Amino acid sequence: MKIAAEAERRFLEQVFTSLHFTDKDAALLADTLVDADLRGISSHGINRLAWYVSMIKEGTIIPENHPELVRERPGSVLVDANQNMGQLAAAFAMGKLIAKAKQTGVAIAVVRNSNHFGTAGYYTRMALKAGLAGIALTNTRPLVVPTNATEAFLGSNAFAFGFPAKPHPFMFDGATAAVSGGKIQVKDKRGEPLPGQWVVDGQRQVVTDAKQAEEILAAAAFSEHQQGGGLLTLGGADEVNANYKGMGNSLVIELLTGILAQGSISADTNTGKHDFSQFLFAFDPAFFGDPAVLEADATAMLNRVRQLKAVPGKQVWVPGDREYRLLEENQRAGVEVDDKTYAQMEEIGAALKVEVPKEA
């Protein structure tokens, strides 16, 4: 079913204020989830609400806390999320970076004691709106099996990069793993097999059964009792296809998040302590040239990519194209909510006495 984005926003704002977030924090949290749903990134939208609510109830997320500036230099910021939602700390940190990057040209932030922060792309879009370009990284629970290994250790570690272009920015946003766990849930829901080299079992054999894959990932991410296996790195099952480069990309993010933050690395977030850490980066393209020229040059390059000769029946697309197309569609038609998520919304709405949006 579809619900109107503005109805989703009102519902979320009321839910979050009922859970003791400030009005401002509730508005930001609602915006991050509505934004994800509008862009068709349902795995990071209202789909996650029940999970956030359960983490609030169990004390993993503390809504009354506020992100804190631990220290700063002209180009660097260290933020403590104080165990509140990652979205609040990341937006706070990116706000600081934007101000600094306009002064010095570039700034970086590390966020510690954080939680899940929604889509990484949200914070790069904050930079874009301020006329800057940006990067956002996060570690995650342990889901990913390094090259040749038979057990999960690395996070699916997201990487987002935004750069000005027309008719919409270049927006690369996704897990560094071959795929995200969300894609596997979708296959399971549809009763379809996994079509590629996405997940391996404890003998490093490729798994095609979506339900089996979900069980492997759940054990790796949420228990001490790994059965082995997990998501593959970009590059797939075989070393010969350079899956160690996917592993390298993921390790770079481990170093820039859990290690720099002196928090947990992904491998240690499966039980007990499960803080996540984020790394943010913003820089001012205007230092290097006229922003209008840079944007036009980027646009021209991306248009040439879109027009490359392709195999019959296929087209070449650029990262971000799909989500900006869906953004436009869903602003008109409403956002898609699956039955399970809607049932969770009804339960949460009943418990907190918040009216649930009707079908659009």
What is the footprint of its own copies within residues 167-206 (CB under 8 A)? 170, 172, 174, 176, 178-179, 195-197, 203-204
In which element (H, E) is residue 133 found?
strand 133-138
Say if residues 110 and 279 touch (Cβ distance below 8 Å).
yes
Whole-angstrom Cα distance, residue 176 to residue 156? 6
Residue closer to its own copies by CB (options 148, 223) is 148
Map the footprint of its own copies across residues 132-151, applying CB under 8 A.
133, 146-151
Whole-angstrom Cα distance, residue 20 to residue 115? 17
Please select the residue that binds its own copies; options are 220, 261, 280, 348, rule is CB under 8 A.
261
- Of 128, 173, 179, 150, which is closest to residue 282 (Cα–Cα)? 128
Check binding of 273 to its own copies (CB under 8 A). Answer: no
**Which residues touch 303 (CB under 8 Å, ≥6 apart)?**
none
Stretch that binds its own copies, among 9-17, 40-48, 256-264, 346-354 (CB under 8 A): 256-264
Please select the residue that binds its own copies; options are 6, 23, 211, 255, rule is CB under 8 A.
255
- Of 259, 250, 245, which is closest to residue 230 (Cα–Cα)? 250
Strands 230-232 and 142-145, bridge-based pairing: parallel
Please report, as a single letter, which amino acid is at residue 140. Answer: T
Strand partners, 107: 282
Check binding of 291 to its own copies (CB under 8 A). Answer: no
Map the footprint of its own copies across residues 302-321, applying CB under 8 A.
302, 304-305, 308-311, 314-319
Residue closer to its own copies by CB (options 76, 82) is 76
Binding mask 340-359 for its own copies (x = CB under 8 A): --------------------
Map the footprint of its own copies across residues 76-135, applying CB under 8 A.
76, 78, 101, 103-108, 110, 133
Check binding of 238 to its own copies (CB under 8 A). Answer: yes
